[in-house]
Structure 1
Amino acid sequence: MIDKSRPVTLDALDRRILAALQEDSSQSLDEIARQVNSSKTPVWNRIRKLREAGVIRRQTVILDPDALGLGTCFFVLVRTSEHEAEWQQRFLAALRDRPEVLEAHRLAGEIDYILKVRVPDAKGYDAFYQALIKDVRIFDVTALLSMEEIKETTALPV
């Protein structure tokens, strides 16, 4: 079982491997080994150990939302007057069932949740909103349209 309460100790080679993988995980082991100035077998062993330690959760691809007709991004601020476990379970289930929701965070402060939502356009957002409020009661929702994406990354600073 992975112990997430303690960060994993990484050395310089681990960090270089992780940086290379975050840049492009489709690279071959030979390419990564060349980038990090090591050989293939030690790099493969390090990657395996990083997976086993839970540092590498999964590998995936990053798609272009505009190319898929999902060029409109909203940040949705949700306030609720209900804080019971049953409401929260229904709300979280509703979010998990909505593919438009790319991220959801529970916050401290006046706003309870923030959602990152990708849709084709304003009508797409309204359809998402109508489906959400049909599934669960929400006290207040504010939708903020992202006018320009200035920075987006999945890469963590290693």
Structure 2
Amino acid sequence: MSVRIDELDRKILSVLQADASRSLDDIAREVGSSKTPVWNRIRKMKEAGVIGQQTVVLDAEALGFEACFFVLIRTSEHEASWQAKFLKALQDRPEVQEAHRLAGDIDYILKVRVQNARAYDVFYQALISEVRVFNVTALLSMEELKSTMALPL
């Protein structure tokens, strides 16, 4: 569903993307409006699905999750039952931060955050015991150069 977003909405969204914990007064002041119209716009964008879940960003390394793997999966299975089983396996594993179905030679890519290589192997062994895959390639990220959820408004 497409929603009409004007310049004030974009300003509000930019402020929220930078720090969603800011007070309504701060947001209104920064975007040059008053509190009530800003609150109404935020409420409407939430109802329309433009603004989704609000959460906090945790520092994975500070919490001991030092290894980030990108897992490339090729499969010869494309039936709905296999896809449902695969989706459930991914949803049941909190270490899978992202999962995408791709066009091209690779069918799926996963972003998996774990403590170390040993923890990745435990994840990998559990995954392949639940769903059959043709080929799995794990790429260890040596350094995260950029990570953002912000959209270029």
CA distance in 2, matches of 1:89, 1:58: 24
Q: Which residue of 2 aligns with 1:44?
A: 39
CA distance in 2, matches of 1:66, 1:114: 22
1:94 aligns with 2:89: yes
Cα RMSD (Å) of the superposition?
0.7
1:86-129 superposed Cα distances (whole Å, 9 cap, x missing partner): 00100000000000000000000100000000000100110110
Q: Look up the equivalent residue of 2:72 and give its one-letter code.
A: L
**If the length of structure 2 is used for normalisation, what is the TM-score?**
0.98
Q: Which residue of 2 aligns with 1:30?
A: 25
- Structure 2 gap ranges (5+): none
Q: Which residue of 2 aligns with 1:123?
A: 118
Paired residues for 1:5-154 under 5 Å: 7-154=2-149
CA distance in 1, matches of 2:152, 2:88: 31
**If the length of structure 1 is used for normalisation, what is the TM-score?**
0.95
CA distance in 2, matches of 1:103, 1:9: 28
Q: Look up the equivalent residue of 1:79 and give its one-letter code.
A: R
SS at 2:112 equivalent: strand
CA distance in 1, matches of 2:51, 2:115: 31
SS at 1:59 equivalent: coil
CA distance in 2, matches of 1:87, 1:80: 10
CA distance in 2, matches of 1:28, 1:91: 41
1:57-77 superposed Cα distances (whole Å, 9 cap, x missing partner): 111111000111112100000
Structure 1 residue 135: Cα displacement: 1.0
- Structure 1 gap ranges (5+): none
Identity of matched residues, %: 71
Q: Look up the equivalent residue of 1:135 and give its one-letter code.
A: E
**Number of residue equivalences:** 153
